[in-house]
Amino acid sequence: DSGVTQTPKHLITATGQRVTLRCSPRSGDLSVYWYQQSLDQGLQFLIQYYNGEERAKGNILERFSAQQFPDLHSELNLSSLELGDSALYFCASSASGGSYGYTFGSGTRLTVV
Amino acid sequence: AQSVTQLDSHVSVSEGTPVLLRCNYSSSYSPSLFWYVQHPNKGLQLLLKYTSAATLVKGINGFEAEFKKSETSFHLTKPSAHMSDAAEYFCVVSGENSGYALNFGKGTSLLVTP
């Protein structure tokens, strides 16, 4: 157990639907990062939150959004889902800027049918 | 922007022989560099990290990497491969100008044969 908890582990949904992925960071970590891993794009950074505020944005689609709550857990919302959104979504947390290391969750596997 | 290039998409070695996974980085700033491993259907595990301390970094499971600024390289090595080392390996860079987000290489698949 890495200390970063992601739920659900697996999710199957239909095109056009909306889903929410949840991440609880390791205790004491203020930063949360979301990544998408797909066969064609590899591992891509989506977005980072630090203590409730958006800190950095990567290749995140407009159909996707995220937030970090006061208890520091984060949610990634994916809407108007397409087949190409099928991927493994990872959450990682770090204490501050990240140079001290990141801890990854085990991921949520999203399948869009 | 920071980026890494993993020079080999697949590497095959025999059990007991050395492992070399190559990575070059590009960064305008002093980067932090990492190697992560992902076993099939598993999450990402940190092998080692370089954060401007010693240039030779020792990690878990006998892996090490050397930061060479003149060559902009951060190759991963292990003296003797085990069957359990078969996995996908990612070279990763992060830096202050990207909010410390990790930029992953495309990965190198390591195959270990008996």
Give residue-wise pLDDT tens across range A17-33. 999 999 999 998 999 99
Give the whole-angstrom CA distance, residue A4 versus residue A36. Answer: 16
- On whether any CB of chain B is under 8 Å from the CB of A73, the answer is no
Given an 8 Å threshold on Cβ–Cβ distance, is B101 in contact with A101?
no
Interface A:B, Cβ pairs < 8 A: 59
Closest approach of chain B CAs to the CA of A103, in angstroms?
Answer: 8
Band the pLDDT of B96: cuts 50, 70, 90: low
Given an 8 Å threshold on Cβ–Cβ distance, is B94 in contact with A98?
yes
| B105, pLDDT greater than 90 | yes
Query: B17 — phi, psi (to 5°)?
Result: -100, 165
pLDDT confidence of residue B35: 96
Band the pLDDT of A35: cuts 50, 70, 90: very high
- On whether any CB of chain A is under 8 Å from the CB of B43, the answer is yes
Give the whole-angstrom CA distance, residue B51 versus residue B46. Answer: 14
**Mean of all residue pLDDT scores within chain B:** 91
pLDDT confidence of residue A39: 85
Q: CA torsion, points B76, B79, B62, B102, in degrees to nearest 10?
A: 10
Sign of CA dihedral A67, A108, B94, B61: positive
Tell me which of A10, A23, A102, A111 to substitute to probe the interface with B (most B C-beta atoms closer than 10 Å): A102
Percent of chain B predicted with pLDDT > 90: 69
Contact yes or no for A106/A3 (Cβ under 8 A): no
Given an 8 Å threshold on Cβ–Cβ distance, is A33 in contact with B101?
yes
Q: Which A positions 27-66 lie with beta carbon below 8 A of chain B?
A: 31, 33, 35, 42-45, 48, 50, 55-56, 58
Buried b (16+ CB within 10 A) or exposed e, A57-96: ebebeeebebebeeebebbbebeebeeebbbbbbbbbbbe
Element housing B89 (H / E)? strand B87-94
